[in-house]
Amino acid sequence: MPIKVLVVDDSALIRSLLSEIIQADSQLQLVGVAADAYVARDLVNKHAPDVITLDVEMPRMDGLTFLEKLMRARPTPVVMISSLTEQGSEATLRALELGAIDFVSKPKLGISEGMQAYANEIRAKLKVAAGARLLKRAAVARPAVVEALAPAAPIVGTEKLLAIGASTGGTEAIKEVLLGLPADCPGVVITQHMPAGFTRSFAERLNRLTRLTVSEAKDGDRILPGHALIAPGGRHLLVSRSGANYVARLSDAPPVNGHRPAVDMMFHSAARCAGRNLIAALLTGMGRDGAQGLLDIRQSGGYTLAQDEASCVVYGMPREAAAIGAAEEVLPLAAIAPALLAQARKRGGGNRV
């Protein structure tokens, strides 16, 4: 049976382009198009689509309000069609928080040519979303609340390094892990598959919500305790050493596993620098990026874990890691931050500031 797709967008051009892209694939079936949320609601009830493409900016009811109502009344996988602006990226992150599975960014110029260039990506994301697990979203915990739950013993040592990789479903998974980390945790490096223009907003959002100082990585940044660096969209994040310090390096090397930034690039470089002092987690995501890098970390003496199937939006990357023996443990999302902290304490060492 083909995957039933509903297109919701106030732009007639985008509706037409998405319809063409969907109808060109025999595995997808276009069941309707809607110019606003009210028409979309009726089509959802009529056709019960497997996946919906949704624009943020629409008349009568904006996309985020519709998404929130949809997830309460009739949870359905959603792929957001987002404008590549600061405001657009903030709205997209909010949509992912509300339960959207993934997003595709609209090109700023040459929309017709740009959307056609993304045709394969759009079709792939629709297929992944249709099979994704819709998770119940917990209310966002505030740092003050998490503080009370954090272990009282201080973490000694930033010879230790935390590394986290994720893809589809990862923005919320990463947020949950970071909310569980105290302000004195080892430095953190993060690669989330995300295009340029969105990672800075993602970092700023995490910086507001967690007790860590979170920023988009710049070449030469020191990886400090209590800080988290996120790979910028379109560039690989690598870890190197400068004397006793860990330092972030950015690379424009070709995509790896179809991605730039790639989790494998970060994991391999971190394994070389940190060895047994490295503590790494591979979270939800489609494909296999990160699995070989996680194995490299384990073989270098570091601690490795993968997110379990039940708590993943898409159990792809962690499944690959578990299959090749890269993950020392496979844990539910809620147990990952405590496991990372337990390993950081277990491995000891002295704090470097």
Catalytic-role residue among 167, 201, 300, 311: 167
Active site residue 89: no
Catalytic residue among 10, 50, 89, 193: 193
Give residues with Cβ within 8 angstroms of 152, minimum separation 6: none
The gap between the terminal CA atoms of the chain, to the nearest Å, is 57
Q: Is the dihedral of CA 24, 28, 29, 35 positive or negative?
A: negative
221 included as an active-site residue: no
Tell me the two tokens of residue 273. Answer: 């620098």
Distance in angstroms (rounded) separating the CA atoms of residues 202 and 98: 15
Name the residue with tokens 């063409």: 20
H or E element, residue 33: strand 28-34
Respond yes or no on whether the N-terminal peptide bond of residue 261 is cis (omega within 30° of 0): yes
What is the rounded distance in angstroms from the CA atom of residue 270 to the CA atom of residue 253? 17
User: Per-residue DSSP letters for 160-185?
Assistant: SEEEEEE-TTHHHHHHHHHHTS-TTS
What is the rounded distance in angstroms from the CA atom of residue 297 to the CA atom of residue 314?
Answer: 23
Residue 227 annotated to the active site: no
Residues 6+ apart with CB under 8 A from 243: none
The residues that are catalytic are 167, 193, 289
